Structure 1
Amino acid sequence: MDAFKAIQNEYNYSMSMGDPRVNGWFMMSSPWPCLMIMLMYLILVKMGPTIMKNRKPLELKNVLLSYNIGLVFLSGYCFTQIFFRAYVFGGISFGCEAVDYSDSPNNLALVGTGWLFYISKLLEMLDTVFFILRKKFSQVSFLHVLHHFIMPLLIWIGLKFAAGGMTIFFPTINSLVHFFMYAYYGLSAMGPKYQKYLWWKKYMTKFQIIQFVLILLHSSQLLFIDCGFPRPMAWIFVIGSVTFILLFSNFYIQAYLKNTNKKQLDNRASNGHVKEE
C-alpha cells in the first residue's frame, strides 16, 4: 500500500506540473484516455487479421478519399498556423527556446493548434484500421504500428508539459510531412488511373528520414545548452528521433535499395550476363 501511495503521490505531483492552459481541455487532464486508445489500438492490431481472415476485404474507396483529404487539410492547417504564429509572428527561433507559458492570444492559438495536432495523431491510427479492413496485412509492419502507437502519447506529453519553445519544431515539420503523405494516399485512393502521379512515393520515405534527422539536430542543442527548456524533453526527442531514423532507414533499404539491386540482377540474368554457379 505504501508503494502504491508513493506512485499515486508521484503521479499527482507530475500532473500538477502540467501546463495550466490545457487543464480541462478534452483528453488533456490525464493520460488515461490516450493510454486506453493505445491499448485498444494494440488489441485491434492483434485481433484484426483474425477477425478479417474469412471475410472479404472492404473497398472503402470513398471513405479513404474523404479521410485522406480531411487529413491533408488538417495537416496543412496545423503547419501554417504553427509556422506563422511561432516562427514568423511569434519571434521563436530555431535555437534553444524556453516555453512561454503566457496567455497571450498568439500563444493560446499556438497551444490550441498543438491540441489539434494531437487529435490528428489519434485520427491517424485509422490508417491501421483501414489496412486491416482491406486485408492489406503486409502494410501493418512493426514500423507502422510503433509509429502510430507511440506518437499520440509523446505528443500528449509535449502538449501537457512543454507546449511551446523547442517543442514547436516537431509539429511544424511533422505537419508538413503529413500534408504531402496524405496527399499521396489521397491520390492513391482515387484508383489506378492516378498511379502515374505517384512516382514520388520513395521520396516520402526520404522526407520522413530527413524530418527525424532535423528533429535530432534541433533537439540535440538541449544536451549542451541550458535555456530553461525541460531537459527530460530533450531526451524524449533525441531517443525518439534516433529510433525512427534507424527504422525508416531500414525500411528504405529493404523496400527500395534491395529491390532495385534484385531487379538489376534479374535483368542481367535475363540478358545472359549472370552465370549459374
Structure 2
Amino acid sequence: MIAASDPRLKGYPFVGQAWFPIIVCGAYLWFVYVAGPKLMANRKAFELRIPIMIHNAFMVVTNMFFFYKFLKNSYFANYSLFCQGMTYATDENSMEIVHWGYWYLLLRILDFFDTVFFVLRKKTDHVTFQHVSHHFCCVFSGHLWVTLGMDGQTLAGLCINSFVHICMYTYYFLAACGPQFKKYLWWKKYLTKMQIYQHIFLVFHGVVPIFYDCGYPKFFIYLGVPQGLLGLGLFLNFYVLAYSKKRSAIEDNVKSCASALKDEILEQKVALKAEQLKKHE
C-alpha cells in the first residue's frame, strides 16, 4: 500500500510538490546546455580550484554523516538486508530515516555543481549524457521517493550510494589539489568499477520483493530497477570507452616504440656492416 504522500514528512518544504523537481532539474539542464555554454562562449575558462576543493571536502564530510545515519537507523537496528518492507512507522529509527532521507535529496541537488564547474571551466568533454542523466535521475526520482516513502528496501541503495559518494568526492578533492597529487589518483579506474558494482547490486537487490513478499510496494521496484539498469548500462559504456581507448593508446605507443627501436637496430647493423667493408678495403 502506497500513501499519496508520506505523512511523516508533512510540513517539510517541497515534499509532494510536483513543480519542485521539474523546476530544479529543468534549471540544471537549461544552464548546462543553454545558458552555461552561451555565458562561456567568449570567455576564458574560470580558475575554480579553491571553490571546487571546498565543495568536494564538504561533500565528503556530509556523505560520511549520511552513511553513518542510514546504517545506524536501518541495518544496525532491526532492518533485513534481504528484504525490508515499508510500514510508514513512526518509531525513532524510522523517523530518523525519513528525516535524513529528505536532507539527502537536497544534498544530491548540490551534485549539480559538479557539472556547473565543468561548464565554467570549459571542460565540455566531461559533460556527457551519462554524467548529466545520472544527476538528473537521482534528483527527479529521489523527490518521488521522499514524497511516497523513503524507508524499506530503498535503504540499501542510500547506504551504498552515500559510501560511493564519499569515495568519489575524495578522489575529486585530491584531483583538485594539483598535479603533485596525481600519484595518489591511480584508483580512478576502480572508482568506476565501484559505480558499476553498485548498480548491479541494486538491480538484483531491488527485484527481491517481486519473488519474496516482505511488504515493499511493487511500484518502487518498477521505478527503481529500470533506473538501475540505465545507470549500469551508462557506466559500463563509459568504462569500455574510457579504458579501451587508453589501452589502445598504450598499445599504439608500445608498437611505435618497438618500431623505432627496430629501425634503430637496423641502422646500427647497416653502419657496422659498412664499417667492416671499409676495413676490408
TM-score by length of 2: 0.88
Residue 95 of structure 1 is matched in structure 2 by 82
Question: Does the residue aligned with 2:153 lie in a helix, a strand or coil?
Answer: helix
Q: Note if 1:183 corresponds to 2:183.
A: no
> Structure 2 stretches of 5 or more lacking a match?
261-281
Check the 8 A contact 1:96/1:227 in 2, yes or no: yes
What is the aligned counterpart of 1:68 among 49, 56, 69?
Answer: 56
Number of the residue aligned with 1:81: 69
Q: Report the Cα distance in structure 1 between the residues aligned to 2:257 and 2:160, rounded to whole angstroms.
A: 44
Alignment deviations for residues 151-209 of structure 1 (CA, whole Å, 9 cap, x no partner): 11111111211221101111110000000100110111111111111111111100000
- Counterpart code for 1:131: F
Residue 189 (structure 2) aligned to one of 192, 202, 209: 202
- Tell me which moved more, 16-25 or 174-183: 16-25
Moved more, 91-100 or 183-192: 91-100
Residue 65 of structure 1 aligns with an amino acid whose one-letter code is M
> Is 1:261 aligned to residue 252 of structure 2?
no
Aligned equivalent of 2:152: 165
Whole-Å Cα distance in 2 between the matches of residues 158 and 168 of structure 1?
Answer: 11
In 2, are the aligned partners of 1:23 and 1:29 still within 8 Å (CA)? Answer: no
Query: 2:98·2:149 contact (CA, 8 Å) conserved in 1?
Result: no
Residue type matched to 2:85 in 1?
Answer: A
Q: Within the alignment, does 1:33 sit opposite 2:20 as a pair?
A: yes
1:95 touches 1:221 (CA, 8 Å); kept in 2? yes
Match of 2:270 in 1: none
Amino acid in structure 1 at the alignment position of 2:81 = F
Q: Name the count of aligned residue pairs.
A: 260
User: How far is 1:263 from its partner?
Assistant: 1.5
Q: Which amino acid is the alignment partner of residue 176 of structure 1?
A: F
AA at the equivalent of 2:136: F
Alignment correspondent of 2:37: 49
Pick from 147, 152, 156 the counterpart of residue 143 of structure 2. 156
Tell me, yes or no, if the aligned pair for 1:78 and 1:116 is still in contact at 8 Å: no
Q: Match for residue 104 of structure 2?
A: 117
Give the equivalent residue in structure 1 for 2:122. 135
Describe the superposition over 1:198-248 as per-residue Cα deviations: whole angstroms up to 9, x where unpaired. Answer: 111111100000000010110011222222211011012210111111110
Q: In structure 1, list runs of 5 or more residues that go unmatched.
A: 1-13
Cα distance in 1, alignment partners of residues 126 and 11 from structure 2: 37
SS at match of 2:74: helix
What is the DSSP-based 3-state SS (H/G/I as helix, E as strand, rest coil) of the residue aligned with 2:27?
A: helix
Q: Using structure 1 for the length normalisation, give the TM-score.
A: 0.90
Instruction: Pick from 22, 39, 46 the counterpart of residue 9 of structure 2.
Output: 22
Secondary structure in structure 2 of the residue aligned to 1:25: coil
* 1:41-63 Cα shifts (integer Å, max 9, x gaps): 11111111122011011111111
For residue 250 of structure 2, give the secondary structure of its aligned residue in structure 1. helix
Structure 1 runs of 4+ with >6 Å offset: none
Distance 2:185 2:14 in 1: 37
* CA distance in structure 1 between the partners assigned to 2:56 and 2:13 by the alignment: 24
Aligned-pair identity (%): 33
1:69: how far off? Answer: 0.5
Mapped contact 1:162–1:230 kept (Cα < 8 A): no
What is the letter of the counterpart of residue 90 of structure 2? Answer: D
- Amino acid of the structure 2 residue aligned with 1:77: F
RMSD between aligned alpha carbons? 1.7
